[in-house]
Amino acid sequence: MQNFSYSKAESVEQAAAMGGRFIGGGTTLVDLMKQGVEAPTQLVDVTGLPLATVETLPNGELKVGALVRNSDLAHHETVKAQYAVLSQALLSGASPQLRNMATTGGNLLQRTRCPYFRDTSYTNCNKRNPGAGCAALGGHNRMMAILGTSEDCIATHPSDMAVAMTALEATIHVEGPKGKREIAIADFYRLPGTTPNVENALEPGELITHVTLPAPRKESKQVYLKLRDRASYEFALASAAVVAETSGGHIRYVRVALGGVGTRPWRAHEAEAALMGKPAKTEHFRAAAEAALKNAKPQSENGFKVELARRCIVRAMTMATA
Ligand SMILES: Cc1cc2nc3c(=O)[nH]c(=O)nc-3n(C[C@H](O)[C@H](O)[C@H](O)COP(=O)(O)OP(=O)(O)OC[C@H]3O[C@@H](n4cnc5c(N)ncnc54)[C@H](O)[C@@H]3O)c2cc1C
Ligand code: SF4
């Protein structure tokens, strides 16, 4: 680990003006610093800022502070009752100890688990060393993405929480040297393209202050289904976040997002289009799953993810419309 300076921000304005690298729970950043993957020279601890509350706004939206711990958010009464997909996604991630440390802002910005990215003995990683190539292409790629990949990077986005927030159509609020702005989660994560080192829409020095979720859809049923190699403490091979409303046995509203298969939390617009207005029946779930994976590009070791993700969608839709 290289030397770095450490300071604790006393206000949001001060943090936004300080530059440097923010640290929340530290469960991603400190690991990467120890591994030599990241070497920030200035750490700005934001954990003392007043951004750790969850509140319902007058317009019905839910405001989640960037410093709300993953465990607190998962067990928050409103989240459990009205945004169940988010609670389930959070509880499916990491371990209780990690969730007690991890923050909402840090979770959104966690970095890929691609082993070549996290092992500096491999120099050929375009995300870490732009222009150096991609060791995962033609290497071990069982865990890699099948949607949104490019010739320069096939790394999977690892967050469960962000997949649920994608299905809930969250908005991310930031504050930086140029002031405040808000970014729809659909616009927050970048596809790798030719610049996999650019992962999101944040500009230098911008601090995530909070996330807002639209007013709850009280008639909806919500499911986060995560399929993985072992029952806990493991990243997704494929996951599906579903928010669905039916009436008269027909689907009247549906949002589907996928995890474990995309280079970013993956909104399955094609699946939603195939489901809207249809009877809540397996044949339509299957057709939607086919549509969602139509453009999948599997690698040498992860072809199984295509059918796994399809079955994940079918199962999650079955649960959400039961
Ligand atoms: C063993 C292990 C297993 C895991 N399993 C899972 C899993 O199954 N599913 C899953 O989703 N996740 C999993 N995780 C990842 C975990 O969820 C993240 O490490 C955690 O959410 C990161 O939050 P943090 O507050 O600790 O982030 P930090 O490490 O503090 O920060 C992460 C990044 O966010 C930046 N940052 C932090 N806060 C802000 C802010 N407010 N504004 C701007 N930038 C900010 C930091 O600069 C850094 O780049 C696992 C982690 C470990 C170590
Ligand atoms: S998949 Fe992306 S993160 Fe992994 S080695 Fe290739 S460029 Fe690096």
Residue 258 lies in a domain: yes
Q: Are 99 and 70 in contact (CB under 8 A)?
A: yes
Structural domain includes residue 116: no
Residue to probe by mutation, ligand 1, list 18, 29, 85, most atoms within 8 Å of CB? 29
CA distance 70 to 98: 8
Q: What is the pLDDT of residue 143?
A: 98
- As a whole number of angstroms, the distance between CA 143 and CA 235 comes to 9
CATH number (domain holding residue 290): 3.30.390.50
Q: Which residues line ligand 2 (CB under 6 A)?
A: 112, 114, 116-117, 125-127, 134-136, 153-155, 196
> Which one, of 29, 229, 267, lies nearest residue 143 by Cα?
229
Cα of 114 from ligand 1 centre, angstroms: 15
In a domain, 255, yes or no: yes
* pLDDT, one tens digit for every residue, the chain (322 residues): 789 999 999 999 999 888 889 999 999 999 999 999 999 999 999 999 999 999 999 999 999 999 999 999 999 999 999 999 999 999 999 999 999 999 999 999 999 999 999 999 999 999 999 999 999 999 999 999 999 999 999 999 999 999 999 999 999 999 999 999 999 999 999 999 999 999 999 999 999 999 999 999 999 999 999 999 999 999 999 999 999 999 999 999 999 999 999 999 999 999 999 999 999 999 999 999 999 999 999 999 999 999 999 999 999 999 999 9
Separation CA 322–CA 64 (nearest Å): 30
Ligand nearest to C-alpha 149: 2
Would you state the pLDDT for residue 256? 99
- Rounded CA separation 125/154 (Å): 11
pLDDT at 158: 98
User: What's the token pair of residue 316?
Assistant: 């999650």
The Cα 59–Cα 297 span in angstroms is 42
Q: Is 23 among the domain residues?
A: yes
Closest ligand to Cα 69: 1
Helix (H) or strand (E) holding 292: helix 282-292
Nearest atom within ligand 2 for CA of residue 114 = 4
Q: Which of 119, 124, 126 to mutate to test the pocket of ligand 2 (most atoms within 8 A of CB)?
A: 126
Q: In the prediction, which pLDDT does 18 show?
A: 85
The pick from 22, 172, 209, 230 for probing ligand 1's pocket by mutation, whose C-beta has the most ligand atoms within 8 angstroms, reads 22
State the ligand closest to the CA atom of 99. Answer: 1
pLDDT of 1 reads: 72
Atom of ligand 1 nearest to the CA of 27: 26
CA of 21 to the centre of ligand 1 (A): 13
User: What is the total count of domains within the chain?
Assistant: 2
Q: Among 41, 53, 64, 110, name the best residue to mutate to test ligand 1's pocket (greatest count of ligand atoms within 8 A of Cβ).
A: 110
Hey, what are 76's tokens?
Answer: 């928050």
Q: What is the pLDDT of residue 19?
A: 80
| Closest-CA residue to 21 (of 49, 2, 48, 40) | 40
Minimal-distance CA residue to ligand 2 atom 6: 134
Domain span at residue 287?
Answer: 221-320
Residues enclosing ligand 1, CB less than 6 A? 21-29, 31, 46, 66, 70, 93-94, 98, 101-103, 105-107, 109-110, 158-161, 207-208, 235
Q: Which ligand is nearest to the CA of 73?
A: 1
Q: Is 246 within the bounds of a domain?
A: yes
Does 215 fall in a domain?
no
Establish if 82 belongs to a structural domain.
Answer: no
120 inside domain = no
pTM for this model (two decimals): 0.99
